[in-house]
């Protein structure tokens, strides 16, 4: 039998069974997401303590929350296109270095101005890591498992927030609030070498950028060991995916992608507004109703735990059912449970289940949206597409916490402030349903990934 002289990289990924190599990639990216979630959420856990120690109004933390999220936005806008030029792995390692170092520096803050600056710089790294671990996981996943693997990987983010909620209170009690940031800085810096050795570069990216065939074949051998034996020594690796030229951000609006991109941005903007409003303000709002600090912090852990369960459940549903129907319905249901949270602060037996279910929809569906976004763009602009969707969403995530501070400053009660989050949740649902009625560009692009 003559040996094959052309290796179809996309087809090889599609044929591959889930194995050790997939597990390593998904696990490493999930670990990064966990650390990202811990560091992103850390400020919300320490805010009530700092406010008490520094004798300031908790409403002033709206700008601090917003500064960290502004950094996330800049990181997503700047570092995601960089990854389409320099590679997913390099930008991921750089992002981890940035947020690890500046989390450590945050522990030394002695004023609100310092806290604001350090959270902004920490956010740059946090914002750069996320779109690239989504892209990397998606680019090694066969289409039949893509949503499941991306959502399972991204569960690390809410799980990291959950871990933060469980350990922050005892850390603060034993060592003070800086210990939370020290933990959030040491952990990512400690795994950099592990990632440098074990994390592969995206094979789709390598082929798209014309990397040597030997390097590509070595990676593909991990996915399909029989491939090398069947291929000629001089076999050429091809992606069979449309090439993209020009400025990657502009490409998001060409070839029929404009409406899809716009609707994705609306959905990301509205849901991340709700998500970060809740994860940043829920501990302080519940503390203001008279609940103990431990219970107030635990509520956010429960919210994120609901997101972990929601992501896994919704990921499997997305791979099997209409993803727009699944995600649109989840957002609509989350709006109802947010309303229940608003009216149940005095009853823990209602509050905690409602918080869990709100997280199931808000956090879980956002993770599903990440998987959906990763499937609608070709390799050459995938990090840019996911990163800019997240970046636009991060603008919403800035507005959410800042708006919470403004509403509290204007004299709104806890119940009314939480109820305000219902409106953007419903708008996110509307955008996803509209996206489902505009499927042609999504199907065409996703088909290019599968063949």
Q: What's 302's domain CATH number?
A: 1.20.1250.20
Average pLDDT over residues 277-304: 73
Query: Would you give the distance in Å from CA 340 to the centre of its chain?
Result: 26
Residue 32, in any domain of the structure = yes
pLDDT tens-digit series, residues 387-427: 788 778 878 877 887 787 777 777 777 667 777 888 888 89
Which helix (H) or strand (E) covers residue 225, if one does? none
pTM of the model: 0.73
**Percent share of the chain, pLDDT over 70:** 84
Tell whether the torsion through CA atoms of 237, 239, 242 and 245 is positive or negative: negative
Find the length of the chain: 451
What is the domain extent for residue 357? 4-202+244-450
pLDDT tens-digit series, residues 121-156: 988 888 888 888 988 888 888 877 777 788 788 778
Residue 298, in any domain of the structure = yes
Rg of the chain over Cα atoms, rounded to whole angstroms, equals 22
Residue 198, in any domain of the structure = yes
Q: Is 194 exposed, middle or buried (0-12, 13-18, 19+ CB in 10 A)?
A: exposed
Residue 288, in any domain of the structure = yes
Residue 211, in any domain of the structure = no
pLDDT tens-digit series, residues 213-272: 777 777 777 777 666 555 555 555 565 555 555 456 667 777 677 888 888 889 899 988
Residue 343, in any domain of the structure = yes
Average pLDDT over residues 301-324: 81
What are residue 231's DSSP bridge partners?
Answer: 4
Residue 226, in any domain of the structure = no
CA dist., res. 80 & res. 78, Å (int)? 6
Which two tokens mark 104?
């450590």
Assign 2 a pLDDT band (cuts: 50, 70, 90): very low
What is the tally of structural domains in the chain?
1
Residue 177, in any domain of the structure = yes
Assign 94 a pLDDT band (cuts: 50, 70, 90): very high
pLDDT tens-digit series, residues 152-181: 887 788 788 778 877 887 888 888 888 889
Torsion of CA 221, 227, 230, 231, to 10 degrees: -70
């Amino acid at each position: 039998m003559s040996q094959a002289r052309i290796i179809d990289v996309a087809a090889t990924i599609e044929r591959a069974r889930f194995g050790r190599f997939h597990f390593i990639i998904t696990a490493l990216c999930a670990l990064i997401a966990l650390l990202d979630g811990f560091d992103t959420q850390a400020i919300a856990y320490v805010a009530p303590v700092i406010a008490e120690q520094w004798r300031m109004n908790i409403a002033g933390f709206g700008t601090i929350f917003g500064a960290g999220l502004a950094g996330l936005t800049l990181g997503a806008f700047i570092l995601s296109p960089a990854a389409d030029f320099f590679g997913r792995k390099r930008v991921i390692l750089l992002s981890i270095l940035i947020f690890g170092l500046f989390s450590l520096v945050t522990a030394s803050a002695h004023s609100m101005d310092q806290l604001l600056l350090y959270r902004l710089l920490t956010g740059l790294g946090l914002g750069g890591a996320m779109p690239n671990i989504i892209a990397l996981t998606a680019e090694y996943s066969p289409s039949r498992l893509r949503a499941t693997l991306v959502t399972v990987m991204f569960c690390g983010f809410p799980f990291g927030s959950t871990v933060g909620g469980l350990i922050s209170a005892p850390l603060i009690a034993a060592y003070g609030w800086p210990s939370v940031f020290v933990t959030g800085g040491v952990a990512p810096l400690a795994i950099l070498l592990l990632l440098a050795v074990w994390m592969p570069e995206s094979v789709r990216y390598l082929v798209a950028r014309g990397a040597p065939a030997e390097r590509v074949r070595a990676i593909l051998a991990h996915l399909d060991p029989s491939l090398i034996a069947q291929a000629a020594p001089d076999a050429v690796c091809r992606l069979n995916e449309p090439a993209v030229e020009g400025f990657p951000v502009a490409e998001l609006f060409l070839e029929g992608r404009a409406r899809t991109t716009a609707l994705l941005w609306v959905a990301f903007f509205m849901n991340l507004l709700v998500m970060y409003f809740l994860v940043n303000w829920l501990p302080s709002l519940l503390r203001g109703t008279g609940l103990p600090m431990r219970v107030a912090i635990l509520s956010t852990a429960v919210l994120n735990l609901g997101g972990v369960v929601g992501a896994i459940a919704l990921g499997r549903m997305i791979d099997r059912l209409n993803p727009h129907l699944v995600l649109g319905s989840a957002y609509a249901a989350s709006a109802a449970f947010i309303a229940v949270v608003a009216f149940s602060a005095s009853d823990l037996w209602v509050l905690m289940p409602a918080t869990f279910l709100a997280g199931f929809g808000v956090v879980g569906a956002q993770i599903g949206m990440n998987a959906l976004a990763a499937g609608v763009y070709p390799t050459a602009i995938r990090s840019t597409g996911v990163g800019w969707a997240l970046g636009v969403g991060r603008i919403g995530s800035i507005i959410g916490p800042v708006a919470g501070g403004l509403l509290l400053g204007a004299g709104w009660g806890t119940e009314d402030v939480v109820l305000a989050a219902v409106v953007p949740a419903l708008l996110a649902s509307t955008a996803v349903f509209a996206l489902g009625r505009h499927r042609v560009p999504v199907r065409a692009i996703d088909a290019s990934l599968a063949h």
